[in-house]
Amino acid sequence: MRALMGADLRVVVLDDLSAGRAGRLPPTVPLIRADVRDRMTVRDAIIRYHVSGVIHLAALKDVAASYEDPLGYHRANLDTLADLLEVLVDLRTPHLVFSSTAAVYGTADSYAEDAPTRPSSPYGRTKLAGEWLIGDVGAATGLNHAILRFFNVAGAGAPALADTGGDNLLPRLLRAAVEGGKATVHGTGHPTPDGSCVRDYVHPSDIAGAHVAAVRALEAGGLTADTLNVSRGVGVSVLELIAAVERATGQPLPYVVGEPRPGDPPTAVADPARIRDRLGWRAQRSLDDIVGSAWAATAAQLRIARQRRPHDVATTL
């Protein structure tokens, strides 16, 4: 939202606030509190605000939870997309930017956009099916669309924008540092240089910049249907991420080795050449920028919490 406004684009937000926080929006940005499955409210918002394009970010994304509730994940991630597409087609809303995921690749030899897609989790399969649905609707109706496959988003765009995703690795590591506990590394026997899983981490501000670039390209007519990786193209292992947390916090972070998680590929590092060539976008933030920004946001939250509940907040730092 901040990046779009910084590019002089008008923004309307529709969110059920199951994970979002209304206080993160300035009063100049309209907030419609609703579920994306509420087709009448979505329809009314598009008409009322003369919406020319939708950025669809609403989804469930916990890989482990998707094994436990595959029906819920299909309903949340695929059925709701079908509802949204029906509204967009009916109102002839011309543009869609869809947030997809590296999980569509599964365990792969290559993570370029034209590589085979073999998602290993129900979550990944819902997102791949969503990509197929958008492609079919676009071919049939002329809906212009950009599918952005995020790799591991980590960090904070500002101190007030801390990651609240409890299952994400970096917040879990920082929480362990704050609480004085031990981090858990899910397996150190993977076929990687240090045995821990390797991922491609990208800063939220870079992700936001990719959305701005996609919106601009759709508006200008230079993009009609494309799938693009959004990543740094740099692999970082879990143990390397722990070392970066130690640099940011200035203290050691001990860890224990747990069992590998189902559906976790040993390595997932993108090839971001296509988005660079077609949209002129490339990630700007380093690993230390990512971890440092997350730590700054966590520290800001701690300061606020201590002011409110000085006796209930961990003081190990």
DSSP 222: S
* pLDDT at residue 162 tops 50: yes
Q: Tens digits of per-residue pLDDT, 82-112?
A: 999 999 999 999 999 999 999 999 888 889 9
* pLDDT at residue 151 tops 50: yes
Could you give the CA distance from residue 272 to residue 229 in angstroms, rounded to a whole number? 6
Q: Tens digits of per-residue pLDDT, 30-59?
A: 999 999 999 999 999 999 999 999 999 999
pTM score, whole prediction: 0.90
Which is more confident, 27 or 164? 27
Q: How far apart are the first and last CA of the chain?
A: 33
Catalytic residues: 123
312 pLDDT band (50/70/90 cuts)?
A: low
45-84 burial, b at 16+ Cβ within 10 Å, e below that, comes to bbeeeebebbbbebbbbbbebbeeeeeebbebbbebbebb
Q: Which stretch of DSSP H or E encloses residue 198?
A: strand 198-199
What does R_g of the chain's alpha carbons equal in angstroms? 20
- Neighbour count for residue 163 (Cβ, 10 Å): 19
Q: What is the mean pLDDT of residues 306-316?
A: 56
289 pLDDT band (50/70/90 cuts)?
A: very high
